[in-house]
Amino acid sequence: MALSIYDTISRKPKEISSRNGVVSMYCCGPTVYRDAHVGNLRTFLLSDLIARTISLSGLSVEMIQNVTDVGHMSDDFQEDKMLEQSKKEKIDPFDIARKYEERFHHDLKNLNINPAQKYPRASESIELMQEMITALIKKNAAYVGEDKSVYFDAQSFKSYGQISGNRLDALKPGHKYEYVEDGAKKFHADWALWKAAGNRKEMIWDSPWGPGFPGWHIECSAMSLKFLDGHVNVHVGGIDLRFPHHENERAQSNSITDTESVDLWVHGEHLLFEGRKMSKSAGNVVLLNDVIAKGFDPLALRLCFLENRYRSQMDLSWQSISSAHETIKRWRNKIAAWGTTHAISADSTILSFLENDLDTPRVVTYLRALEKDTSVIDEEKINAFIYADQVLGLDLTRTPVVRELPANLKDLLEKRESARAAKNWALSDELRATLESAGLEISDSASGQSWSWR
Ligand code: AMP
Ligand code: ZN
């Protein structure tokens, strides 16, 4: 069997393609005007999951992920997200970009996401984009508008709409496609490749069409074709990017290459938090740093994601992070107890789950069953866990830290035991809170209290 992943265009699983044993991957990166929330990280983990599975099945990967630091307009299209944030924080927009870009890399490291080969920045690829725009104008796929912005001629691209199902003839005028000066476009669904500066003073560059800045969609066409040698085997992004971002990227790239530039479009579903879409207005934005600040292993978040199929919407909660944290801790302890690691051999069951459209929930269920199965010898268990961990990335061979209990906490635990014996529940609860804030986890059962480090 070979790795197949659900293809958004054909709406069925498709075998992954490669060139000389190398799979070229492009993953839409962050817009660096703020911290990535855990929803964004779910999508970034998807590309890591694909890359690790490809490696496990014996191919190499070349992955590029862009950093959007100019041209991504806010939802009401009034302002560049970078400039909006620059005003809020009173910091130069390029400094905003570098600040959040660094934090993005830090988050990836904490989530054990292997780095891409390159992270090209939009602001450093202006010439590349201008070259592509010039080529599109030459091919009659783009035109200079009256406002000196350059627009892509959507009607020149006959198969527009295959990714999202939004066919041009069904797209109504008035839909928010792109920021635009009224009347400058020939057709309502055309979009800006280059935007004239107008009153804008920052983050603008000279161009053959006058000073301005690039549109968001052209950056991904320019970077993917440049850095992946003109063809993309797998393209990854969140479900919201299907339209207009990827639809427009496909039109641009295919018009340049005169062929299908991307073999497989993969989209990850969104993450909800406690039942609701994560947003500032709902007040439920969670960052990886919040997870760490609560004392959880950041890889607990990774396990939560892996327990859900990437194509299903998933609901995250503090409870699920906490359980995943416990599971990882238990697995590390068990693996250490099962014995030493020998050369790891391939596990065809695990590989077949992964190659079947990245069925990580089945891998996790399989490992849970194996953990409890008394008929399986420890050596086999350890092999399966470590083999799977090449893709799961949960750092399962990390030696569990043995931390001594300090005398003051020991004392508090004893006091709590006496309080419970005396049925002084108020004192018992008070002591529990103190112990928990010191990093302990307390559980009570019929046989008394027990504790562990969180
Ligand atoms: P942005 O930084 O807003 O450009 O988004 C970066 C990536 O995160 C894109 O691939 C989005 O599709 C993805 N994304 C945004 N919100 C969510 C969410 N709630 N769950 C999963 N992925 C998301
Ligand atoms: Zn993109």
Q: Which atom of ligand 1 is nearest to the CA of 278?
A: 19
How confident is the model at residue 402, as a pLDDT? 65
Token pair in block for residue 331: 């697995």
**Which residue among 232, 247, 268 closes a domain?**
268
Residues 211 and 260 in one domain: yes
Residues 103 and 125 in one domain: yes
Residues 188 and 216 in one domain: yes
Average pLDDT score over residue span 31-57: 96
- The ligand minimizing its distance to the Cα of 74 is 1
Q: Kindly report the protein residue whose alpha carbon is nearest to atom 23 of ligand 1.
A: 40
pTM for the whole thing? 0.88
- The ligand minimizing its distance to the Cα of 276 is 1
Residues 208 and 327 in one domain: no
Q: Kindly report the protein residue whose alpha carbon is nearest to atom 9 of ligand 1.
A: 238
Measured CA to CA in angstroms, residue 347 lies from 3, 276, 365, 381 at distances of: 15, 38, 15, 11
* CA 273 to ligand 1 center in whole angstroms: 14
In a domain, 399, yes or no: no
Cβ atoms of 144 and 150 closer than 8 Å: yes
Residue to mutate (ligand 1; options 46, 240, 304, 310; most atoms within 8 A of CB): 240
Written as one letter, the residue type at 384 is A
In a domain, 179, yes or no: yes
* 237 touches ligand 1 (CB under 6 Å): yes
Residues 298 and 320 in one domain: yes
* CA 391 to ligand 2 center in whole angstroms: 25
Report the number of distinct structural domains present in the chain: 3
Q: Which atom of ligand 1 is nearest to the CA of 238?
A: 12
**Which residue among 216, 241, 268 closes a domain?**
268
Q: Which atom of ligand 1 is nearest to the CA of 43?
A: 22
Task: Summarize pLDDT for 157-215 with one digit per residue, the tens.
Answer: 999 999 999 888 777 765 555 555 556 889 989 999 999 999 999 999 999 999 999 99
Residues 94 and 198 in one domain: yes
Helix (H), strand (E), coil (C) string for the chain: CCCEEEECCCCEEEECCCECCEEEEEECCCECCCCCCHHHHHHHHHHHHHHHHHHHCCCEEEEEECEECCCCECCCCCCEHHHHHHHHHCCCHHHHHHHHHHHHHHHHHHCCCCCCCECCEHHHCHHHHHHHHHHHHHCCCEEECCCCCEEECHHHCCCCCCCCCCCHHHCCCCCCCCCCCCCCCCCCCCEEEEEECCCCCCCCECCCCCCEEECHHHHHHHHHHHHCCCCEEEEEEEHHHHHHHHHHHHHHHHHHHCCCCEEEEEEECCEEECCEECCCCCCCCCCHHHHHHCCCCHHHHHHHHHCCCCCCCEEECHHHHHHHHHHHHHHHHHHHHHCCCCCCCCCHHHHHHHHECCCHHHHHHHHHHHHHCCCCCHHHHHHHHHHHHHHHCCCCCCCCCCCCCCHHHHHHHHHHHHHHHCCCHHHHHHHHHHHHHCCEEEEEECCEEEEEEC
Residues 128 and 232 in one domain: yes
In a domain, 72, yes or no: yes
* CA 81 to ligand 2 center in whole angstroms: 15
Task: Summarize pLDDT for 86-145 with one digit per residue, the tens.
Answer: 889 999 999 999 999 999 999 999 999 999 999 999 999 999 999 999 999 999 999 999
In a domain, 401, yes or no: no
Q: How far, in Å, CA of 382 to CA of 342, rounded? A: 9
Residues 263 and 282 in one domain: no
In a domain, 13, yes or no: yes
Q: Which atom of ligand 1 is nearest to the CA of 241?
A: 12
Q: How far, in Å, CA of 241 to CA of 172, rounded? A: 19
In a domain, 400, yes or no: no
Task: Summarize pLDDT for 401-445 with one digit per residue, the tens.
Answer: 667 788 888 899 999 999 998 999 999 999 999 988 888 888 887
In a domain, 439, yes or no: yes
Residues 244 and 149 in one domain: yes
Residues 448 and 304 in one domain: no
CATH number at residue 104: 3.40.50.620
Q: Which atom of ligand 1 is nearest to the CA of 236?
A: 10
Q: How far, in Å, CA of 113 to CA of 200, rounded? A: 37
Average pLDDT score over residue span 223-251: 97
Cα angle 338-374-385, degrees, rounded to a multiple of 5? 45
**Which residue among 268, 284, 318 closes a domain?**
268
* CA 123 to ligand 2 center in whole angstroms: 14
In a domain, 398, yes or no: no
Residues 346 and 369 in one domain: yes
Q: How far, in Å, CA of 122 to CA of 129, rounded? A: 9
* 43 touches ligand 1 (CB under 6 Å): yes
Average pLDDT score over residue span 232-242: 97
Q: Which of 362, 359, 367 is nearest to 394 (CA)?
A: 367
Residues 67 and 174 in one domain: yes
Task: Summarize pLDDT for 347-374 with one digit per residue, the tens.
Answer: 999 999 999 999 999 999 999 999 999 9
How confident is the model at residue 176, as a pLDDT? 56
Q: Kindly report the protein residue whose alpha carbon is nearest to atom 18 of ligand 1.
A: 39
Token pair in block for residue 424: 């002084």
* 71 touches ligand 1 (CB under 6 Å): no
* CA 65 to ligand 2 center in whole angstroms: 9
Instruction: Place 384 in a pLDDT band, splitting at 50, 70 and 90.
Output: very high
Cβ atoms of 4 and 15 closer than 8 Å: yes
* 238 touches ligand 1 (CB under 6 Å): yes
* Domain range for 427: 407-453
* CA 164 to ligand 1 center in whole angstroms: 17
| Residue for token pair 């579903």 | 269
Task: Summarize pLDDT for 110-124 with one digit per residue, the tens.
Answer: 999 999 999 999 999
